[in-house]
Amino acid sequence: MSQNGATALPPGPRMSRAVQTAIWSRQAQWLLRQCRARFGDAFTIRIAYEDTWVMLSDPEAIKQVFTGNPEVLHAGEANRILGPVVGSNSLLLLDEAAHLEQRKLLLPPFHGKRMMRYGELMAEIAGAEIERWPLGDPYRLRPRMQAITLEIILRAVFGVEEGERHDELKRELRSLLDMGTDPRRVIFLLALGPERVRRVGSFRRDIERVDRLIYEEIRDRRRASDLDKREDILSLMLQAKHEDGSPMTDLELRDQLVTLLVAGHETTATALSWAIERLTRHPEKLDRLTDEVRAGEDRYLKAVVIETLRLRPVIVLVARRLTEPMEIGRWSLPAGVTVAPCIYLVHRRPDIYPEPDRFLPERFLEKPPGTYTWIPFGGGVRRCLGGPFAQYEMEVVLRELVSRRRLRPARQRPERVFRRGITETPRHNAEVVLA
């Protein structure tokens, strides 16, 4: 007990850390639901390779975390395992002043309104991809959605034009990204830890091949005569300045480009796959969407995207490690624990979302999503930088798809949630039949 009578840590399951880890790695959502039912809005769980996690699903507690002092609430530490890929300047890894400095450089290129400028390019990429998909046979859309989101990042974020370097970069990045979703390699990397991973020969060679191409692109872009007219995010970053007036270094640019790729590619492809999976299970909603899109309206389309991210969040929680003790709600938490606003649980609260398990885009037609109750992109100073980009991209791709093709599910039963790396994907990769 602390002085004011608050208990230090909320209760949690008594199972050993090993058992909790085993359940977490296969059935995270089940474990979260069970704990919520048994212990309430806040509970403590223990997972191997992680700190002690205090899960939070009360919007007031989540607000406290998202608006709290970033010096006390560290997000970068929890992402250390990504270090060997994204590099030490990555926005994902930094905290406090260093984080804020990089974030300020990246915010203007990602401003919500700017995203519209990428609409045409996104539609062109999605349309060309969709035209290649076979008709009449079961077809898994998740890998194809990955192809679309990778191409969009290469062209809109990296600004790489079609050609030899584009193809080579795409190939090398694909193989680097696949490493993060291969469960055997993930376990191997986790067991080694970031420091030793850096020394593994095959891993180092993979990174070096990608880096060589990225540095070539940065070098050529610095010299481009049309740099100040270009719209892609790398070109905008090249023109950004630190507070002392100095430009971003090649190393900073490289680390942020790889960060944007790692953070933005798999996540958006998975969210798109869930939108298709949920829509094909609700033909009347798919029909409504198709009719409205074909009539040139986008209100229902936006609501579909928001509801998909609520019901099937790609990531179940965000984490902040306490550098000092902190009172959250009635808990007086010690330094060293990780507080985790739980996206999955807050999105399933019946007091906020009546019939929370139903797919009901209509919920969001009249009411915009709440800052601390709809949190698929996290929040506060760490809120996903690419949130507006991802939402807009989902709208564009869905629009292209439903205006070109009719869809039905290839399997009788809805697809279950399946963990791949850190994302929660549809078990059968959104398998559909196109017509």
Binding region for ligand HEM (CB under 6 A): 75, 91-92, 103, 157, 259-260, 263-264, 267-268, 271, 314-315, 318, 376-379, 382-386, 389-390
Residue with tokens 């564009």: 396
**C-beta of 156 vs 189, nearer to ligand HEM:** 156
For the beta sheet containing 407-409, the strands, ordered from the edge strand earlier in sequence to the opposite edge, are: 138-140, 431-434, 407-409
DSSP code per residue over 6-54: -BSS-----S-HHHHHHHHHHHHHHHHHHHHHHH-SEEEEE-TTS-EEE
Closest approach, Cβ 341 to ligand HEM, in A, equals: 8
**C-beta of 332 vs 426, nearer to ligand HEM:** 426
CB 176 within 8 A of CB 197: no
**C-beta of 233 vs 432, nearer to ligand HEM:** 233
**C-beta of 259 vs 280, nearer to ligand HEM:** 259
Which DSSP symbol is given to 143? H
**Which residues sit opposite 419 in a β-bridge?**
424
Separation of alpha carbons 253 and 217, rounded Å = 11
Quick one: how many helices (H) and strands (E) in the chain? 16, 12
Closest approach, Cβ 153 to ligand HEM, in A, equals: 6
**C-beta of 267 vs 338, nearer to ligand HEM:** 267
**C-beta of 22 vs 123, nearer to ligand HEM:** 123
Closest approach, Cβ 137 to ligand HEM, in A, equals: 28
Closest approach, Cβ 410 to ligand HEM, in A, equals: 24
Closest approach, Cβ 67 to ligand HEM, in A, equals: 12
**C-beta of 218 vs 433, nearer to ligand HEM:** 218
**Which residues sit opposite 332 in a β-bridge?**
327
Four-residue CA torsion sign, 319, 320, 325, 330: negative
Closest approach, Cβ 268 to ligand HEM, in A, equals: 4
Closest approach, Cβ 369 to ligand HEM, in A, equals: 13
CB under 8 Å to 217, separation ≥6 — which residues?
A: 158, 160, 165, 169, 234
